[in-house]
Amino acid sequence: MRTLTPHPRWPHEALNVTELHEKGWRPTAFREFVLKVHQRCNLACDYCYVYELADQTWRDRPRVMAPAVWQAAANRIAEHARRHHLRRVTVILHGGEPLLAGPDRLLRLTADLRAAMPDGCRLSVGMQTNGVALDERTLTRLADDGITIGVSVDGSPADHDRHRTFANGTGSHAAVDRALRLLGSPPFQPSFAGLLSLVDPSTDPVPTFEALLRYQPPAVDLLLPHANWATPPDRRPGSATPHGDWLVAVFDRWYDAPRRETRIRLFEEVMSLLLGGSSRSEQVGLSPVAVAVVESDGAIEQVDSLKSAYPGACATGRNVRTDSFDAVLRHPAVAARQIGAEALCDGCRSCPVSAVCGAGHYAHRYRPGDGFRNPSVYCADLQVLIRHVHRRMTADLSRLAGR
């Protein structure tokens, strides 16, 4: 068993959840559940937050989720749905690489999930995969079961293969390309959930985005690399905000297109927040996070991007075999991601864009010693993006109002 780093004082000790309840705060029920159905991967991506960064607890967990664990998870999800009168929940099959579990096991798992759901609660099942093992037979079976599929890919073949390689160092783009062409073909388009791509300032932003567009994805998630104040992101020489600059270039290409070619959740969430709406993204906004992760041994954890912070950062000490998801809602680290502006540091709370930025992704706020009550390590980049989007929207709204 690996030694875990002690949790930082904030929020684990400093946030008093009992006091929050006494003041009238109530937690938001979990609505999305990520099941780590397989702990290993068939790629060796150099930026992977599971295998390459701080937390290595995957080494001590079962390689594959056992039926008893997923059945316990199904019953706990159903219990949570009944208790909170949820009309819909989402389960994401994840890893590692979920396809390593095999389609037979995955379909048995989803059958048990559906059988457990209470009347009146709709279950949506999705999968996030690197795509290299997605062949026509597997895709047919998953699609027939109603499982939607998101694929991770990083732009052009050369850019993708620089980071997303097999263990022997060879690139994976050719295999991913085959999977995406199959997924984008007419029989399987309804199962195509979208693409997940990492923001890499060393690439040319517009050609990178257009390389993704070639697959005609219904949606694209652009993710900032997981970094924090202990392990800051690489900064391109000549720019203090390379990630923000990259996102601005892609935003303009996307926003100025004569028709909507795809959805980009980060941009749409920023626009919604600027107009006074809410956000469902972890990257921006102050909306409560309503996601729980179940590891292959049944441990209930926070979103696994926190593995980039320190060993054991995701841990709650709860397990689906013995504990309800409601017990996890009382954990101070979960509450911290549901109390909005109260979780922000003083500097963020006084910032004019804080309602939009929301201090960025929670994992990106970590600083050893004082924990997660800090601005995002991408603070300046986020401000560049948000202010640019605000200027573009303001100009267009003013022009429309003047007609």
Q: Where are the domains of the chain?
A: 9-401
CA-to-CA distance for 9 and 16, rounded, in angstroms?
A: 11
Q: What count of other Cβ atoms lies within 10 Å of the Cβ of residue 57? A: 21
* Predicted local distance difference test score (pLDDT) of residue 56: 81
SS3 string of 251-311? Answer: HHHHHCCCCCCCEEHHHHHHHHHHCCCCCCCCCCCCCCCCEEEECCCCEEECCHHHHHCCC
CA-to-CA distance for 321 and 104, rounded, in angstroms?
A: 23
Quote the Cα angle for 13-18-19, to 5°. Answer: 90
Please tell me the class of the 9-401 domain.
alpha beta
* Predicted local distance difference test score (pLDDT) of residue 66: 98
SS3 for 46?
coil
Sole residue written with tokens 């993704």: 212
CA-to-CA distance for 1 and 261, rounded, in angstroms?
A: 48
Q: What count of other Cβ atoms lies within 10 Å of the Cβ of residue 340? A: 14
* Predicted local distance difference test score (pLDDT) of residue 2: 62
- The strand order across the sheet containing 32-36 reads 263-264, 219-223, 192-198, 148-152, 122-129, 88-94, 32-36, 291-294, 299-301, 315-319
**pLDDT tens digits, the chain, 403 residues: what are they?**
566 778 888 999 999 999 999 999 999 999 999 999 999 999 999 888 887 777 788 788 999 999 999 999 999 999 999 999 999 999 999 999 999 999 999 999 999 999 999 999 999 999 999 999 999 999 999 999 999 999 999 999 999 999 999 999 999 999 999 999 999 999 999 999 999 999 999 999 999 999 999 999 999 999 999 999 999 998 876 789 999 999 999 999 999 999 999 999 999 999 999 999 988 888 999 999 999 999 999 999 999 899 999 999 999 999 999 999 999 999 999 999 999 999 999 999 999 999 999 999 999 999 998 899 999 999 999 999 999 999 999 999 999 887 6
* Predicted local distance difference test score (pLDDT) of residue 73: 98
Q: Where are the beta strands (DSSP E) in 289-370?
A: 291-294, 299-301, 315-319
Q: Strand pairing of 32-36 and 88-94?
A: parallel
Token pair listed for 168: 């022997």
CA-to-CA distance for 118 and 370, rounded, in angstroms?
A: 42
274: Cβ–Cβ under 8 A, 6 or more apart, which residues? 356, 386, 389, 390, 393
Side chain identity at residue 23, one-letter code: K
Under a CB-based contact definition with an 8 Å cutoff, are residues 346 and 210 in contact? no
